A and B are shown apart, each in its own frame.
Chain A
Amino acid sequence: GAVVSQHPSRVICKSGTSVKIECRSLDFQATTMFWYRQFPKQSLMLMATSNEGSKATYEQGVEKDKFLINHASLTLSTLTVTSAHPEDSSFYICSAPSGREQETQYFGPGTRLLVL
C-alpha cells in the first residue's frame, strides 16, 4: 500500500532556531498534503493544507509566518518551524490522500519536536 514517510523522526533544538520537517509520499503523487499537530493522547489538530505549486492554506489560529510550508514537488512537502520556542514542542504528523477520488488518507509516522 501507499506509504508516507517523515524526516526526521525526532529532533531536539534550541529555542530560537528553525527546524525543517519533510513529508514524502513514497509510491504515489500527492498534489495535497496535510500537516497536523498532536497533543498528548488527543486528536490530531489540522494545521494547514499543503498544495503543490501554490500557497498553503492555514487553519484559523495557525501562524503562517511561523509554520512555513513548501510543497516543492508532487512527492514532497516541508514544514519549517521558525524561531522555535518550547511551546512548539509537539508531535507533528503529515498525511496525503490517494485514490481516484482522494478518498484514502495515508499518514506519516510523525516527527517529535522538543525545543529546549
Chain B
Amino acid sequence: GQNIDQPTEMTATEGAIVQINCTYQTSGFNGLFWYQQHAGEAPTFLSYNVLDGLEEKGRFSSFLSRSKGYSYLLLKELQMKDSASYLCAIMDSNYQLIWGAGTKLIIKP
C-alpha cells in the first residue's frame, strides 16, 4: 500500500533549528513536496525534490533520499511565525498526490 509518515507534533524554541522527517512508501515517485499551512489558510509551497540531495532556500532546506524513501525539512533560526503545520506530499507514478497527515510545529519563546 501507499503510506506517508511524519510526526504529528513537534515543539522547538525560537532561534533554534528543527528537522521534520517524512518517510514514504508509494507506487512510483515523481517528486516530493513540502508545504507550510497556517490555520485557516491555503498551503504555501516550500520545496520540491525529485533528485537525491539537499536543496537550500534561505532558512529552509529540504533533503531527499529516494533509496531510503526519506525526506526531511530543516528549518533554521526559527521564528514565531514558523508555527504552522508542515505537510509532506508525494506525487506517485500516476501523478496523484499522496498527502502526509502533517506535522504541527509549535515554536516557544
Contacts and interface: CB of A to CB of B under 8 A. Distances in A.
- A in complex with B: yes
Interface of A: 1, 9-10, 34, 36, 41-46, 91, 93, 103-107, 109-110, 112
A44 B43 contact: yes
Given A42-B45, A43-B44, A43-B45, A109 B98 contact: yes
Contacts of A9: 94, 96
A110 B35 contact: no
Interface of B: 31, 33, 35, 37, 39, 42-45, 48, 85, 87, 89, 94-99, 101-102
B92 to A, nearest CB: 8
Contacts of A93: 97
| 5 nearest A-B residue pairs (beta carbon) | A43-B45, A46-B42, A109-B96, A107-B99, A41-B48
Contacts of A109: 96-99
A1 B101 contact: yes
A34 B42 contact: yes
Which of A9, A105, A106 is the most central at the interface, judged by chain B CB atoms within 10 Å of its CB?
A105
Contacts of B37: 105
Nearest to A101: B39
Contacts of A42: 45
A29 to B, nearest CB: 19
A44 B35 contact: yes
A104 B42 contact: no
Nearest to B46: A43
A104 B45 contact: no
28 contacts: A1-B101, A9-B94, A9-B96, A10-B95, A34-B42, A36-B42, A41-B31, A41-B45, A42-B45, A43-B35, A43-B43, A43-B44, A43-B45, A44-B35, A44-B42, A44-B43, A44-B45, A45-B42, A91-B95, A91-B97, A93-B97, A104-B101, A105-B37, A105-B85, A105-B102, A107-B89, A109-B96, A109-B97
